[in-house]
Homo-oligomer: A and B are copies of this chain.
Amino acid sequence: MVSQPDSLDAAGPPPLAGLMDEVWQEYAELVTQELHSRCSALADPLDEICGYALLPPGKLLRPLLCLESANALGADPRIAVSAAAGLELAHVGSLMQDDVIDSGLVRRGRPSVYAAFGVPAAIVSGDALISSLFDALARSDPAVADRDVIRSVRHAAQAICAMCHGQLLEDRLSGGDDCDLDAYQQMIRNKTAAAFRGSCEIGATLAGATAAEVALLGDYGEQLGMAFQIRDDLLPFTESEPDVGKPRADDLANGRPTLPLVLAARALRLPRSAFADCYRNGTFDAVVALVTDSGALERSWDMARGHVACAVQQLFSLPESPSRDRLMSVAHYAMERRV
């Protein structure tokens, strides 16, 4: 459902390298245990397909943000492990359906569920995993107040609805020439940033946070997600092909409005399709040169840095803690990552 950038899930160097201190290692183990027990509780053939897609797990960024958001508010992150695993289930479920939409044959370096099991299995197993998020929330630790479980269900439903909305916006904008900066921002806020926002909101909510605290961590997540997506848009222009995890011209070929292209089109007063033409008549490096000369790469970096600064700014309202430090590190990682 969500056109999550493939490169976030590409096989490659150790995931979240540099971020995985002992605490996050422990979080990741807790979530992975929960994923294992969830998979074995599904009935065949659902468990076979879901197990294939879920294990071994990916970066677990959304679950880790959920647990850390609870921790940053002083709660024991263990109360949110069921929810955190649920977020990964829904994420992987949405990727399964995404691969149907994009005919994506490879996911995390292996045949996608769509390629390995077919369209019906990918759509239907995706639905089962997305719904499992709500089951996971409803099975939250008994220490969580019922009221907060219900609030978390609403945050989850809102996030999924926003992701669907963002995906539809992307479909409408892809191929056309009429994506201005506002439309681009609306698209990535829904498509990518809403999942990060929701992960933080859910962790905070289960920790019993006030509405203001939930909004604060939600805003952090949203700004982080915007930065992540922009950095992702920049990858084909800044990294070599193996690191990007997909052909560098992929977005260009699919007509996807990525930030460098949207800004370069505006600066050069060209339709976005001119860059696809340039690629067809030359090389991707010719497109890189054109986009770089327009100043669009520099502006994209500036915008991404702006979102990181906003994300970090939110965190200053929280009391100092190792947990807050880790959330800050994630924001900086969003920029520094090369994959």
The answer to whether A134 and B134 touch across the interface, beta carbons within 8 angstroms, is: yes
Q: Is the CB of A1 within 8 A of B127?
A: yes
Decide: A168 near B134, CB < 8 A? Known: A1-B123, A154-B139, A160-B127.
no
Would you call B124 and A123 a contact (CB within 8 A)? no
Output the least CB separation between A113 and chain B (Å): 12
Residues of B within 8 A of A165 (CB): 42-43, 46, 128
List chain A positions with a Cβ less than 8 A from chain B.
Answer: 1, 42-43, 45-46, 49, 94, 97, 100-101, 118-121, 123-128, 130-132, 134-135, 137-139, 146-147, 149-151, 153-154, 156-158, 160-161, 164-165, 167-169, 171-172
Q: Report which of B101, B138, B139 forms a contact with A123, defined as CB distance below 8 A.
A: B101
The 6 closest A-B pairs by CB, nearest first: A135-B157, A146-B146, A128-B164, A131-B160, A138-B153, A1-B127
Highest count of chain B CB atoms <10 Å: which of A126, A146, A150: A150
Q: Are B1 and A124 in contact (CB under 8 A)?
A: yes
- Kindly list chain B residues whose C-beta atoms are within 8 Å of the C-beta of A125: 164, 168
Copies of this subunit: 2
C-alpha gap A123/B122 in the complex (Å):
11
Q: List 26 A-B contacts (CB under 8 A).
A: A45-B169, A46-B165, A100-B123, A101-B120, A101-B124, A121-B168, A123-B123, A124-B164, A124-B168, A125-B164, A125-B168, A126-B127, A127-B130, A127-B164, A128-B164, A131-B134, A131-B157, A131-B161, A134-B156, A134-B157, A135-B157, A135-B158, A135-B161, A138-B151, A150-B150, A153-B153
Which residues of the partner chain B approach A157 to less than 8 Å between Cβ atoms? Answer: 131-132, 134-135, 138
14 additional A-B residue pairs with CB within 8 Å, beyond A46-B165, A128-B164, A149-B150: A45-B168, A46-B164, A49-B168, A94-B127, A97-B123, A127-B160, A127-B164, A131-B134, A131-B160, A132-B157, A134-B134, A134-B156, A135-B157, A138-B150
Q: How far is the CA of A171 from the CA of B120 in the complex (A)?
A: 8
Contact B123 A46 (CB under 8 A): no
Residues of B within 8 Å of A120, CB to CB, are 101, 167-168, 171
Q: How far is the CA of A151 from the CA of B45 in the complex (A)?
A: 26
> How far apart are the CA atoms of A130 and B90 in the complex, in Å?
13
Which residues of chain B are near A139, meaning CB under 8 Å? Answer: 154
Find A42's partner among B97, B156, B161, B169 (CB 8 Å cutoff). B161
CA of A63 to CA of B21, assembled, Å: 50
Using A100-B119, A120-B101, A127-B1 as known contacts, say yes or no to A150 and B146 having CB atoms under 8 A apart: yes
A46 to B166, CA, bound (A): 10
In the complex, chain B residues whose CB is within 8 Å of the CB of A42: 161, 165
Distance in angstroms from A202 CB to nearest chain B CB is: 13
**Nearest-Cβ distance from residue A95 to partner chain B, whole angstroms:** 12
Given known A-B contacts A94-B127, A121-B168, A132 and B150 have beta carbons under 8 A apart: no
- A153, B127: Cβ atoms closer than 8 Å: no
Q: How far is the CB of A115 from chain B (nearest CB, A)?
A: 16
User: Chain B residues with Cβ under 8 A from A43's Cβ?
Assistant: 165
Residue of B nearest to A157 (CB): B135
* A88, chain B: closest CB distance, angstroms: 16
